[in-house]
Structure 1
């Protein structure tokens, strides 16, 4: 059993644009490309941002040349910075706070992403021996999100992220070991499998360059795909149950008919960046993107 509480309440880690001052539309830069129709500097409002901090083309972002916006998620950092860190005073009302608000937003966004992973890790039954350490780091991360603007601006978030990553890696190893155990009996019966070692190596693809890879129908149960580049990879019908997908780049990856149930550390932005269909099976708590056929 991979999870013990798939119905966890993680609403604070979901973007609430109505409570945010359009921070992702101002603080972050982007360049004209297949993802964005225009160039925009950091700290400059997007030309589509309205006076009420809403996006004027939100319902037609892809058609308007802004698919990059549809795959971005602040994990709730926008409303946290807007309503808590800066007490509900926006950068238009207090322009003197704008530069600091824009600098703090990416820091809190990283912390909220870590909260998202730690929250999921605490639902994974195979990692129950680590739950005490996971709770400690979750509480510490939550504490950091509540710091004031000055402290957040100076925070060494990279070091904290590394501490969390060490524990998430241990969590992943325990979960994927369970997947390996489930496949053990079947492998023992298949004595004629000459490329067993090669298949095992394929399960360890951490950080691998798999851009455009042909992985149609691949058995990737329990695979380590942390940080793997799966851009435009053909994963049609692939079995990705219990695979670790933290940080995997799934832009334009074909997930039609793929089974992602039980995969760990998969996020909504990753799904939004991929291609899929009605037969793609996604984990509980994530939503099949509207643009999937």
Structure 2
């Protein structure tokens, strides 16, 4: 049987290890922004990081809420489960970034570069993606309800099983995009060419909104309910 003194020693060692780990984590969070920085689980809210090059960095579970990241670069970065709620990322370059389960409610991604990004199960409700480039992006099961994707480039994007209810796609480019099983309730496709999309079926079109300028895939019919009224 271990002696009481041995238990005390083990407890002290464990406490020391935990304190050391905590100090290392704090030190990592205080690292200056730059290529390859590791800010895992750090709080970076309400900061001005506009124009910073954070490419290939690790930001898993990092909180960027309300931070200004205009024109920042996150090329090839790991942003899994990071939080960009209400953050500003206009013109930011996130090409090939890993954004699995990333949060971005009401974030501003206007004109952002998101080519090849993996946004599987990302939660981006009410975000602004006006003019953003999602060419080749993976957006399977992404939550994009009420987001604005007007003029966005979604060519070749995989949006299968995504939630795009009430999202706006006016004038967006969707050539080769996969919309299989996407939830399209009141999604706005006015002025949008859907003829080259994949996976769309009639009930998805019936649930969505369009107008005389909406071009449908072969075999699908324009619903009598079009155009939808303004909400």
| Larger RCO (CA under 8 A, 6+ residues apart) | 1
Q: Which has the larger radius of gyration?
A: 2
TM-score interval, normalised by the smaller of the two chains? 0.3 to 0.5
